Chain A
C-alpha cells in the first residue's frame, strides 16, 4: 500500500514538473512575442518608409495568440519514408509562429526561437503565414490555433498546417481552406521529392543552390 502511494506521488510530481516546464516555456514565447509586437508597433508608428502590409493601428489592438510550433521535414527521410505520415519524419525547429489577431483575423505574425540559451524574437511580419493562417478553417481560428503545427518541407517548398490529423496546404494547387488526408499528402510529397532528387540531387552535391 505504502509502495503504491509512493509511486503515485512520484508520478504526480513528474507530471506537474513537466506541466510547469511547458507553462514556463509558453510564457517565455509569449513574452518574446510581446517584445516583438512592441518593436513592430514602434517601428510602424515612427517610420513610413517600409511597407510591411500591416498598420500600427492593427498591431496595437491585436492580441497575442497561441504559438504554433514549426517543424522541418528531413528530406532524406521523406525520400525513403514508409510510414506515410510526414509528421513522424519532421523535427521541431524550436521556432514558434505567434499570430497577432483581432476577432479571428491574423494581422501579422511574430516568429520566436526558443533554445536552452533563451527565447528571442527572430522575425517580425511574415505575409505568407499571415495570409495562410487567415485562410484556415474557422474552427482552427476559433481555437486560437491551439494544437496547430506547421511543417516546412525543404527543396519542394511545401508548407503544411496540421490540425487534428488533417493537413491544410496550398501546395500544388491545393487550398488551406480544406483539410486533406495526411497520408495522401505525404505520398504526393514523396513522389515530388523523388522527382526533385532525380533532377537536382547530383547538382546539389557539387555546390550550393538557392531557390
Chain B
C-alpha cells in the first residue's frame, strides 16, 4: 500500500516536471497583474513589491511595507497637503523590494535574464518579475515585468510601471533596453523564480 502511494506520488511529480520542462513559450505571453501606482514619489519599491506579492496571492499595502521598512507606524496616513492617493511625506523615502517580508522566496540576478528565461518565467511559471535599473550614485527605479511579445522580429518586454504617483502606466520597452538601458543607466537587478515560502 505504502509502495503504491510512493509510485503514484513519483508519477505525479514526474508528470509535473515533464509538463514544466516541455512548456514552450509562445510569441506573446502575459500574466494578469493589476497595475498599482506608487503612493508617494519614492515608493516604486513598495508598489512593485505589492504587484509581485499579489501575483503570489499575498496582499500587502504599500504603506504597510513602508511602516516595516522605516520602523514607523504612521505611513498609512494620507498626505494632508494633497487630495490624491498620496501617503504622508514623513514616509516618502526610497527603498528596495521587500519580498522576504511578504513571505516570498525568490532568485535574483544582477545581469538580465536571457530572452528564453524571461519568456519561460512569464509564460510557463506565470511569474511577475521585478526589474531595477539606474546609474551609479543616483536613486534608480524598479518596475514589474508582466509580459513579453515579439513583433516584426523585435522582442519587447511589457511593464507595469508604478510611476507616476497615483497614476502608473503600462508600457513597453525592447528586450535590448531591459538588458542594457540607454544612457548612463544599467540593469541593476531582476527578481524571478518567485513563490510563497
Contact = CB atoms under 8 A, between A and B. Distances in A.
Contact of B28 (A47, A200, A204): A47
Given A123-B173, A211-B42, A39 B137 contact: no
Interface residues of B, number: 43
Interface string B167-197: 1011111101100001110001100000000
A38 B153 CA distance: 12
B169 A53 contact: yes
Nearest to A41: B151
A50 B45 CA distance: 23
Interface residues of A, number: 39
B164 interface: yes
Contact of A208 (B28, B96, B163, B183): B96
B95 interface: yes
Where chain A touches its partner, the secondary structure class is mixed
A9 interface: no
Interface in B132-146: 132, 134-135, 137-142
A208 B182 contact: no
B186 to A, nearest CB: 11
Interface stretch (A15-23, A124-132, A134-142, A180-188): A124-132
Q: 8 closest Cβ contacts across the A-B interface? A: A93-B183, A209-B94, A211-B94, A211-B42, A127-B169, A39-B151, A210-B142, A124-B172
